[in-house]
Amino acid sequence: MSSKVEPITRPAPGRTASVRRKTNETDISVSVNLDGTGHRKISTGIGFLDHMLEQLARHSLIDLEVEAKGDLHIDGHHTTEDTGYAIGEAISQALGDRAGIRRYGDALIPMDETLTRVAIDASNRPYLAWKVSFSQPSLGAMDTELFAEWFKAFAQSAGLTLHVQTVYGENNHHMIESAFKGLARALRQAVEHDPRQGDAVPSTKGVLGGSLPT
């Protein structure tokens, strides 16, 4: 399978990025503005995923546009996973060297009977701790097992250490929606400019990531 992620070069102010991820299975275009207002335009062909990505944009105040076409005649796996990769890559590009950001973010999100905890380190060292279990095989037309795949792909390409935990809950819709809202709020904190940081990278190493630049 061939795969490539292409940056789309265009002049734009602020922390913005656009990418296109095209494989034999999907063709996905994503644009983000980290300093936006939560504007969103989402079309993945999977209604429930669209709803979750709208929550992500609205509550992070990151402008997000997603246009995804995938092999939904097979199932939703490739489209879900590759959408996570593409959005994460766009956010990583928009962050640049991550200088001046707060780096850490966390959220505790109640939704009726459900309580979800999300914590982020925008460390450029990807890792997902996923402590969420569902009692239903699907929500709408989306298999619930695919939510872990989306979060894993997103954390990997965005360069996030990401922990997601359902503290307690019963309703599957509430559990996953509170996870996306928690991600949004924690991400908003983590990528915000910290006026006390100035232009410094928030690390004693002077660089965020697993290896030093050559």
Written as one string, the DSSP assignment of 115-176 is EEEEEEE--S--EEEEE---SSSEETTEETHHHHHHHHHHHHHHT-EEEEEEEE-S-HHHHH
End-to-end CA distance of the chain: 30
Three-state DSSP state, 191: helix
User: What pLDDT is recorded for position 14?
Assistant: 77
- Could you write out the DSSP letters of every residue in 14-65? SSEEEEEEEESSEEEEEEEETTS---EEEE-S-HHHHHHHHHHHHHHT-EEE
User: What pLDDT is recorded for position 201?
Assistant: 83
- Upper half-sphere CA count for residue 64 (Cβ side, 13 Å): 29
Three-state DSSP state, 82: helix
Q: How far, CA to CA in Å, does 44 sit from each of 29, 65, 76, 159, 213?
A: 10, 10, 10, 23, 36
CATH code of the domain made up of 3-191: 3.30.230.40
User: What pLDDT is recorded for position 57?
Assistant: 98
CA–CA distance, 18 with 145 (Å, rounded to integer): 28
User: What pLDDT is recorded for position 207?
Assistant: 78
Q: Which two tokens stand for residue 136?
A: 């239903």
Low-confidence ranges of the chain (pLDDT < 50): 1-2, 7-13, 211-214
Three-state DSSP state, 111: strand
Q: What is the pTM of this model?
A: 0.90
Q: How far, CA to CA in Å, does 10 sit from each of 13, 19, 38, 57, 92?
A: 10, 11, 21, 22, 17
Model pLDDT for residues 35-64, shown as the tens digit of each residue = 999 999 999 999 999 999 999 999 999 999
User: What pLDDT is recorded for position 6?
Assistant: 52
